Each structure stands twice: as structure tokens, then as C-alpha cells.
Structure 1
Amino acid sequence: MKKITIAIVLLSAVITSVYAQKKAAYHVSKTFHIKSSGGYDYITVDSASDRLYVSHGNQVNVLNKTTGDSIGVIKSDKDVHGIAIVSQLGKGYITNGSAASVAVFDLKTFKILAHVPTGMFADGILYDDYSKKVISCNGKSKNMTFIDPATDKAVATVQLTGWPETAASDGKGKIYVNNAEKSEIDVIDATTYKMVNTWPIAPGKSASGLAIDRNTMRLFAGCDNKLLVVMDATNGKVVTTLPIGDECDAVGFDKKLKTVYSSNGEGTLTVIKELSANKFTVVQNLKTKAGARTIAVDQVTHLLYLPTGKFGPKKAGEFRPSLIPGTFEVLVVSSGL
């Protein structure tokens, strides 16, 4: 009887463990549908206001992050790429690529308040909480524009040597940017507006997505050659590389869960656990949908948001195939925790 009881207990423990692992696995838990037409790029979650800001053609769709209900639409004259929120000033900032500008909008009314000139093809954008500046990555002019949100004026332009994709801040005065053209990470002093370092990401190539763990000072760069490069943000040394899916255009990091996410346009989400500053492991490759290449991480609920849709055949001269009107959607991914 004793042996049987022990066996039953062990079997129960195994079943419980397997169930827990299945429950904890990342999965698409919801889908928010947006019926308007147009392409898309970055997506931003504002946990303080329960809002999701979704780039979509020449506008930003504002959704309730829990229900997906429409809260409003911010109209823009040109293509929208990234959205940064400055809650304390009640304003948001939108990069308009072909307009070479950043549009400023009111968080309450969604009205456009101003347009700030930038370099050509304003793309990635962030708000740096150290310098209190909004920073635009301008691809075609290979530079970055620093904007003072108190005045909505550009205060500095930092020239790079190649196309800047996405930037991240360490919160202590350094800005890191993926120089995709040169396959390096450039480091900007947020006080002097000077480039102080250029660090190669080899064996990674042409990184797009970038995130940072400010506690361990580790940078996570999602590269074109299906690698995520982990770099020491204090000295530029590559700590390790991990395999990810193809067409990564954004990388997210959950600060509490110590988890890195690579959103891959091929239709996968690579989930990487940070075990320590120098040890990382891929824990899951979730099937999402083709085109789900950018991501926003909610640091409060730990939900992930990935925009995508259905696409027509790629035409000659197109960088990416066009989105079929009426099929745009946002996938909501949960860990089950």
C-alpha cells in the first residue's frame, strides 16, 4: 500500500507539473479587429491610461487595452510609424515618415497640437525619462532628432553613419540606437548630444528591434539573420546570441518577468528567459500570424500586443506586400500566469 501511495503521489505531481507548464505557455488569448484600411508599424501601450496606440496608415487608432474597444482616432496627413507618450505633460508624439516630422497630440482630445520638423523618414521614437526629451530616429537622413516636450521644439540633431532603426535609454544619460546599415549599436550622450561609442553586433546583422534591461545593463538587439544579440551596455561586449524567427522588427522586455520577446514577421514570437545577466534561454516559439513583426509589452498586466493582418501578393517595387483592407488586427498574447 505504501508503494502504491508513493506512486500515486508522484504521478499526481507529474500531472500537476505538466498542467502548470501548459497553463503557463504563451498563447494568443484575444484578437482586436480594426476595419479601416492602411499599413502599420509600431504599437505602444500606455498602462497608466489603459490605452493602446496603434499605428495604422495615416492615423493612430486608440483602443482600450483590455477590451479592444475604440476610444478614438488621431488623424495624420502622412504615414504613421511610432508613438511616444509623455503622460506628465498630457501629450503624445507620432513619427510621420514621409513628412519628415513628429506630430504632437493632446492625450485627452486627440487633437494635433504641433508638427516638429525632423530628419527624413522619421521612424522609431521614444521618450527618455532621464533627459526629458522625445527622440526620433530618422532613417533616410541617418540622424536622430531630440525634441523638448516642454516647448515642442527640436533642440539637437545627432548625425550617425547609417540608418537608425530603434533606440533605448538606460535611464542614466545614455541612448542606444540600432544602426541597421552598419550592423552596430551607436551610443549617444543624452546631455551633450554627442555620439560617444559605436559597438559592432557581430555575428548579428542589421538589427531592427532593441530593448534594454536597466538592472543588468543588457541590450537585446533583434537581427536580420535570425539572431538576438545580447550586449553589455556598459562596454559593448556581446554576451551571447540566441536563435529567433525571421523578420524581427521589434523586441520587447518584461521587467518583472525578466523575459525578452522577439516579434518575427514570419509569424512567430520567440520567448527568451533571462536567468542571469549572462545566461539566457529560449523557452518558447509561439506561432502567431505572418506580419506580426512589432510588439508592445504591458509592464502591469504582462500582456503582449502584436499588430498584423492579411496580405495580398507582393507587387514589384514593394518593400512589403500590402495589407488587405478590413483585415487589420491586434493579437493579444498571454502567458497564462
Structure 2
Amino acid sequence: MTQPLALTGHVPLPAHAGAGGFDHAAVHAATGHVYVAHTANSTIDVFDPAARRYLHSIPGLTAVAGALVSDESQLVFTSNRGENTIGVFSPGSAPEVTRIAVGVRPNGLAYDARRRLVLAANVGDPAVPRSCTLSMVDIDGQTMRASIVVPGRTRWTVFDAEAEVFYVNIMAPSQIVVVDARHPDRVARTIAMPADGAHGLDFDPATRRLFCACDAGVLVTLDAGTGKMLNQCKLSGVPDVVWFNPARRQLYVAVGDPGVIDVFDTRTMMTLGTVTTEKGAHTTALPRSGDSVISFLPRTHRAALYTVVA
């Protein structure tokens, strides 16, 4: 079987100053620049994959865990887990970062561009009761509009613009909670997962399917509207970041141990192959063109660039 991704090169990134490696990343469509949370350095590292060149870092984002780019609003959002804030800034060098207080240890981020509303999914603190929450943040007012208590540690989250809802993974009990952006002060409904440890999440708006990678080593496909399970696929191990590629109708699931990307054809949900990255590489980025995939290698502090072949 031909490998679905072909390695074309690397971009060296700053060495780790502490523990933590890399976490979530996003791509700014207009420039192609990649913004990756460098948790070990409390920075967002920015690089140009086309030029294969590191550009600069945005410092002082304590234990940053997530990065999200809104091309509609021309904003970058970060979840700063070590200081219980989200950061908001414009793309470009030396941006001015606005910090907005949220819940305990924010991680996943999703954005409703129409309402300029950010959902920050907070993993909480086991020593603090009811600290697993969702913070609903008004970007224009620079304030937390509501805090929603959820039943367990949050994972990743995505926004469905057509249905106007946020989907948020909960680790245990393994489920997806749904928040209506029109009523962002409560959970509208929940979707129980058939596998433990709901973790990575993405969404196909054309087919109205959710792709949820679970710690049990299973990829679950769900009907977003009804919550009905449509399919289950075996993964190479415990997953993290999931990206759906609408241009190629493919799905990429990063598995840090052994260090691979599992690739699926979303038309059939059959595997297209498994691509070796590096042990500990649990996070990726997907440019909007759909022609490439980027994996972040914590042991060698590099970004690995892959071309989509299949």
C-alpha cells in the first residue's frame, strides 16, 4: 500500500526550555503561517512551511495549550493553561495580546465568528470541586459571559456554524456535550460515547458527522444531529489531535505512542495507512488547501512537513 503522506522536509523550532513539548496548532489561511502552542516555552511559535522557515515566537503565554485561528475575524486565540486566561491577538509579528480571564486550566478552543463568542474548555483541577467548566467569552466585551459546569475533564471542542452549536469532548464520563450558541449559558444535550476517553474531535459539515478519537484506541463516527454511532475504527494507540481534510475527504489522527498518524478515507472509513512521525508527536496542523499535513516532533523540536499523496 502506498503511504498516504510523504515526508518533504522539516522546520527547526526553538528548543524546549522546560517540560511540555508542543500542543495544539492552527494555520492562518492568508499567509499560510502556522501558529503552534509551544507549551515547554510558554510561547506561540510561528513559522512559514512554504519557506521552511521559523519566523518568531509570541512569549509570555504561561503553559499555553491551544491555538486557534479565525480567518473570518482575522484573530488568533490561545488557551493559557498556567494563568487561567485566553489570549487574543491579530496575526503578524510582535502582536499586542489581550488576555481574558476564564476557568481553571483552559485547553480546547472553539469560535463562533458571527457572535464573536469563544468557548474555552477548561480541564479543571481535581482538588477544586466543579472546576471542569466551559467558559463562554465575549471577545468584543473582553469578558467571560457565562461559565458552564460539565461532568468531567474537557478535551477538544469544535463549532458547527450551520447548527450554531459547540461540541465539546468530556474524558470521563466519556461523552460529547453540546452547547447552543444562542443560549450559551447551559448544556443543550449530551451524546454518550461507546468508548472510554473521548479525546480528539473534528466535524464534517457536508455530511453532518463528528469524528471522535477515544483513549480506548477507537475512532468513533457519529451523526451530529442524532448522536447515533455510524462507525468504529481501530487506532494505533491512545490518540490526541484529529483533523478532517474536506478537500481530500481524509481524516488524520495523531497517536503519540508509538508516534504515528493514522489516516482514514472518510467516504468509506477505511484506513489509508499509518505514517511514522516521532514518539511523543501527538499534535498536527492542517493547511486549508488540504495538500499537506504538519506534525510536531517534541524530541527533536521540529515541524515535519508531509504532502498528501493518496
TM-score by length of 1: 0.83
Preserved contact between residue 247 and residue 293 of structure 1 (Cα < 8 Å)? no
Give SS of 2:295's match. strand
CA distance in 1, matches of 2:229, 2:44: 36
Preserved contact between residue 11 and residue 303 of structure 2 (Cα < 8 Å)? yes
2:21 corresponds to 1:37: no
**Larger Rg over CA atoms:** 1
Give SS of 1:99's match. coil
2:291 corresponds to 1:302: yes
Q: Cα deviations across residues 231-270 of structure 1 (Å, max 9, x unaligned)?
A: 1100111111001121311100001211111111011111
**1:53-132 matched pairs, under 5 angstroms:** 53-56=35-38, 57-132=41-116
Gap change, CA 1:67 and 1:167, over 3 Å in 2? same
Residue equivalent to 1:292: 281
Q: Which amino acid in 1 is paired with 2:11?
A: F
Q: Cα deviations across residues 208-251 of structure 1 (Å, max 9, x unaligned)?
A: 10000011110001111110000110011111100112131110
Residue equivalent to 1:234: 225
Aligned mate of 1:329, from 302, 305, 308: 302
CA distance in 1, matches of 2:68, 2:290: 19
TM-score by length of 2: 0.90
Unmatched 5+ stretches in structure 1: 1-20, 311-326
Residue equivalent to 1:161: 151
CA distance in 2, matches of 1:170, 1:90: 19
Aligned mate of 1:143, from 127, 133, 142: 133
Unmatched 5+ stretches in structure 2: 125-130
CA distance in 2, matches of 1:146, 1:35: 33
- CA RMSD across the alignment: 1.7
Higher helix share: 1
Give SS of 2:265's match. strand
Q: Which amino acid in 2 is paired with 1:231?
A: L
Identity of aligned residues (%): 21
Aligned residues: 296
CA distance in 1, matches of 2:113, 2:73: 13
Give SS of 2:253's match. strand
Preserved contact between residue 70 and residue 113 of structure 2 (Cα < 8 Å)? no
2:262 corresponds to 1:270: yes
Q: Which amino acid in 2 is paired with 1:78?
A: T
Measure how far apart 1:66 and its partner are.
1.3
Q: Which amino acid in 2 is paired with 1:125?
A: L
Measure how far apart 1:128 and its partner are.
2.4
Measure how far apart 1:198 and its partner are.
1.2
In terms of mean alpha carbon deviation, does 143-152 or 85-94 score higher? 85-94
Q: Which amino acid in 2 is paired with 1:32?
A: V
